[in-house]
């Protein structure tokens, strides 16, 4: 499964979906995320907890290690899939209105052939398989 920034944040700051996301993540045989999702999650954790960026990054880094989530590199192919995702589901012409981070999460999940663990109403409006 690919763990989107929204799911990372939900689990780290213990949002209402945290337990359900944690259970789904534990059921997956492999868990991935990306540097872009990490970036988005660190900024959100910092804002929510009113903590310095370095502290939020430490919290997320420890969570990623404990949860056995592998941070994958962003490849040229993933970049191309993200561009295609924006063309299909991006903020201009589609109700999902995916932003850059969303497009890269979509692209990572698509390129890895794994479901996407995420929060929100945007991804269900696309063709990505959800976890």
CATH number (domain holding residue 56): 3.40.50.1010
What is the predicted pLDDT for the residue at 90? 87
Q: How many CB atoms lie within 10 A of CB 8?
A: 28
Asked whether residue 53 carries a pLDDT value surpassing 90, the answer given is: yes
User: 33 - beta bridge partners?
Assistant: 71
- Structurally, how many domains does the chain consist of? 1
In a domain, 26, yes or no: yes
In a domain, 131, yes or no: no
In a domain, 85, yes or no: yes
In a domain, 59, yes or no: yes
53-to-10, 86, 93 alpha-carbon distances in Å: 17, 29, 34
In a domain, 128, yes or no: no
In a domain, 34, yes or no: yes
Asked whether residue 64 carries a pLDDT value surpassing 90, the answer given is: yes
In a domain, 125, yes or no: no
Task: Measure the CA–CA gap between 35 and 11, rounded to whole angstroms.
Answer: 17
In a domain, 87, yes or no: yes
Asked whether residue 14 carries a pLDDT value surpassing 90, the answer given is: yes
Asked whether residue 109 carries a pLDDT value surpassing 80, the answer given is: yes
Q: What is the domain extent for residue 80?
A: 2-120
Report the pLDDT averaged over residues 61-84. Answer: 97
What is the predicted pLDDT for the residue at 94? 66
């Amino acid at each position: 499964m690919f763990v989107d920034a929204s799911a990372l944040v939900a689990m780290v700051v213990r949002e209402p979906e945290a337990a359900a996301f944690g259970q789904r993540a534990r059921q997956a045989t492999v868990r991935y995320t990306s540097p872009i999702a990490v970036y988005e999650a660190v900024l959100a954790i910092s804002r929510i907890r009113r903590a310095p960026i370095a502290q939020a990054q430490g919290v997320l880094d420890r969570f990623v290690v404990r949860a056995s989530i592998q941070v994958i590199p962003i490849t040229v192919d993933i970049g191309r899939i993200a561009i295609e995702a924006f063309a299909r589901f991006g903020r201009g012409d589609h109700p999902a209105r995916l932003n850059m981070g969303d497009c890269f999460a979509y692209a990572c999940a698509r390129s890895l052939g794994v479901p996407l663990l995420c929060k929100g109403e945007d991804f269900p409006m696309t063709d990505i398989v959800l976890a």
